[in-house]
């Protein structure tokens, strides 16, 4: 189990690449589940509710697998930050949600924060 990015051996590139692929998959599943949340109608529609809960469960399970390789602080920050930004973009592009300059700027700050955490973890 790795606890810091400094502990990563350069020969572990394949393992890290696999963890990053799983992390992106976890983010995709979380975004899909969140985008389907309105269809669950407050968990009163059983079919959509099962899909939403299954999507969240799969996403968390993948995140748990990822933290075997990547530091939890980095993996969670990326999962939460990228997921939040992508959900906001999906809401704007496909769900009819508004996007103000303040909202867009705030999302950009989330992305900058995730990048900053990753850079800080490598030094």
Cα–Cα distance for residue pair 57/95, rounded to 1 Å = 23
pLDDT, averaged per 10 consecutive residues of the chain (123 residues), comes to 54 84 97 97 97 98 96 90 92 93 91 81 57
Domain residue spans in the chain? 5-121
**pLDDT at position 50, please?**
98
> What is the DSSP code (8-state) at residue 2?
-
Q: Which distant-in-sequence residues (6+ apart) come within 8 Å of 87 by Cβ?
A: 31, 34, 35
Token pair of 71 as six digits: 């530091």
- Return the pLDDT at 34: 97
pLDDT of residue 110: 86
């Amino acid at each position: 189990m790795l606890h810091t990015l400094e502990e990563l051996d350069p020969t572990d590139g394949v393992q890290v690449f696999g963890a990053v692929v799983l992390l992106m998959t976890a983010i995709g599943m979380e975004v899909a589940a969140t985008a389907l949340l309105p269809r669950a109608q407050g968990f009163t529609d059983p079919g959509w509710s099962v899909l939403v809960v299954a999507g969240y469960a799969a996403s968390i399970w993948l995140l748990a697998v990822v933290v075997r390789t990547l530091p939890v602080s980095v993996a969670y920050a990326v999962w939460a930050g990228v997921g939040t930004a992508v959900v906001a973009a999906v809401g704007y592009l496909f769900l009819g949600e508004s996007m103000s300059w303040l909202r867009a700027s705030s999302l950009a700050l989330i992305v900058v924060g995730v990048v900053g955490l990753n850079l800080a973890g490598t030094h």
